[in-house]
Amino acid sequence: MSEPKQLLIIDDDPDFVAGIKAILVKAKYAVDTAYNPKDGLSALKAKNYDLLLLDVMMGRGAEGIMIARKLGKDPKLRELPVLIITGIREQMAFLFPGQAVHPHFVDVDELVEKPVAPKLLLEKVEALLKTSETRKAKSK
Amino acid sequence: MRPEHEILVIDDEEVVLDSCTDVLSSSACQVLTAGNGAEGLKRLEEARPDLIFVDLKMPGLSGLEVLERIRAKHPLMVVIVITGYATVSSAVEAMKKGAFDFLPKPFTPEELRLIAKRGLEHNRLVQQTIALRREKEMLRENFAAIVSHELKSPLGALQQNLFALSAELEDKLSEEQKQRFERLSVRLEDLVKLIHSWLRILSVDISKLKETFQPVALPVVVSKAVETVQPHATRKAIEIQPTLAEPLPTIHGDEGSLVEVMVNLLGNAVKYSHPESKVAVRVQAQGAEVLLAVSDTGVGITTEDMTHLFQDFGRGQKQPEGVSGAGLGLAISHRIIEVHGGSIGVESELGKGSTFTIRLPVKPAAADSSPDSQRKV
């Protein structure tokens, strides 16, 4: 296998992050973590990640959403596949009234609910990385 | 500093304005005056009095018109009309249009003070009610968000780490240890479910369930519920005995919430039963209804408790040792069954046990758009 894929998790609950990170590390991913939007954004600028795992409900909603919006507006960052992690679906529907439950912030994203079973997590991550690579190959 | 109260008096007679000001003014109460209806309405644009007196008979805008315009703009404003000619009919007309009370002219200072005091008190109650209602609404609206964040986040983190740990330790754990991990997960999940049901009763409209009704097979409901409650029963060596009088008709409803109801009833039966006893579940068709009965031989319920058993937070007085619960289960169950067009009742004898009976209509009360779908499953 080639270089390990670089993943970034942005979530304000360190314990939750630990539970996600362990699963990903075991699956041979290189995982960085950020526990607030500010660190998260500077990490995204400092390094090229292959995938972002983002808790959109961070800080009661607004902060995670803010990152998601920023990503969507940034021409480079919107290429980054995002696995959106959320507390409950109803809240997403509440925050994005009239939209599908899955908000699609960026070109390639997927939604999972907390907590996420290891198998599902790895499947989603893999699928997102694959989709993103196919897209990149096509655009070249 | 703004005085505690502001009273606006609208009257074309200067002597009335003056005497009202004299009688009602104090350090705690400021009296604003207006010599006619138009002026009075204008004053209302900048001031927000606690109470308004309006003379019914004025040149220009009549008192009734002023009253109507005030109430249209400020529906909760407390307005007292002053009736120059003591005819009951005009006062009645004003009361119909929303006046709080009327004051016949001529009046004594004592009468004025008294009626003003009552008006202010009424206003205070109205304001208090509005504030409480607003608070309740806000609580209700925010409840889902708050509870979900504050309670579910830690549970989510716990669950996530259990997942991770059991994946990490997969090769090292014995079968028995793996099972314990599994049990931990299940218990956590139960807790999350419990939070959901609290959320449901406090912030979600259960009647919305109707929108997604589907044909439901009751044997499935019973077996799922028994499965959920079984571990608790086993711990107390209680035997759950289901009797299904087949064939049973399919009913139209929401399977998940019906299971929730049965879990509540069975869970209660186990909770309030003596160890090593039996809990019976009986399901049978009866005319146009299906009966689901859960019987225990436990502590029973007092007549007094039975009256508020299905209300929110209505736990019985008679609690066996070590029993805990918020008393929401039956209230939720009641609402769920109501939405299904059914009823739930209880018979109980203290010290002998209780039987909860659910009656569900076989045909839904409302016309079903797809009668064929009911026969499938």
Q: Does the pLDDT of residue B112 top 80, yes or no?
A: yes
Q: Does the pLDDT of residue B146 top 90, yes or no?
A: no
Higher pLDDT, B369 or B306: B306
Query: Comparing A13-27, B60-74, B204-218, which segment has the lowest mean pLDDT?
Result: B204-218
Q: Does the pLDDT of residue B6 top 60, yes or no?
A: yes
pLDDT mean across residues, chain B: 84
How far is CA B131 from each of CA A74, B3, B119, B137, B146, rounded to the nearest angstrom? 44, 20, 18, 10, 21
Residue B215 near residue B252, CB atoms below 8 Å: yes
Tens-digit pLDDT profile for residues A113-126 = 888 989 999 999 99
Cβ of B156 under 8 Å from any chain A Cβ? yes
Q: Does the pLDDT of residue A91 top 50, yes or no?
A: no
pLDDT for the residue A93: 40
Query: Comparing A109-113, B84-88, B107-111, which segment has the lowest mean pLDDT?
Result: B84-88
Structure-token match 């109460």, residue found: B29
Record: contact A87-B148, CB cut-off 8 A: yes
**Prior bond to A81 cis, omega within 30?**
no
pLDDT for the residue B25: 93
pLDDT for the residue B111: 94
- What is the rounded distance in angstroms from the CA atom of residue B40 to the CA atom of residue B32? 9
> Looking at CA atoms only, how far is residue B325 from chain A in angstroms?
24
Q: Does the pLDDT of residue B51 top 50, yes or no?
A: yes
Q: Does the pLDDT of residue B23 top 90, yes or no?
A: yes
Pairing of strands B289-295, B278-286: antiparallel
Structure-token match 């644009």, residue found: B45
| DSSP assignments along B6-23, one per residue | EEEEE-S-HHHHHHHHHH
Record: contact B164-A114, CB cut-off 8 A: no
Residue A12 near residue A55, CB atoms below 8 Å: yes
Higher pLDDT, B55 or A61: B55
> Looking at CA atoms only, how far is residue B144 from chain A in angstroms?
8
Cβ of B153 under 8 Å from any chain A Cβ? yes
> Residue length, chain A?
140
Residue B21 near residue B7, CB atoms below 8 Å: no
Q: How confident is the model at residue B372 (pLDDT cuts 50, 70, 90)?
A: very low
Cβ of B220 under 8 Å from any chain A Cβ? no
Percent of chain B with pLDDT over 70: 85
pLDDT for the residue B375: 42
- What is the rounded distance in angstroms from the CA atom of residue B240 to the CA atom of residue B268? 12
Could you say which residues from 1 to 20 on chain A have a Cβ atom under 8 Å away from some Cβ of chain B? 13, 15-16, 18-20
How far is CA B124 from each of CA B41, B77, B130, rounded to the nearest angstrom? 22, 11, 10
> Looking at CA atoms only, how far is residue A136 from chain B in angstroms?
32
The chain B residue lying nearest A57, using CA atoms, is B149
The chain A residue lying nearest B188, using CA atoms, is A115
Tens-digit pLDDT profile for residues B244-291 = 998 889 899 988 889 889 998 999 999 889 999 999 999 999 989 999
Tens-digit pLDDT profile for residues B304-330 = 787 777 776 555 555 554 444 546 678
- What is the rounded distance in angstroms from the CA atom of residue B279 to the CA atom of residue B374? 31
pTM of the complete model: 0.49
How far is CA B105 from each of CA A108, B61, B173, rounded to the nearest angstrom? 78, 19, 92
Tens-digit pLDDT profile for residues A19-64 = 999 999 999 999 999 998 889 999 999 999 999 999 877 765 567 7
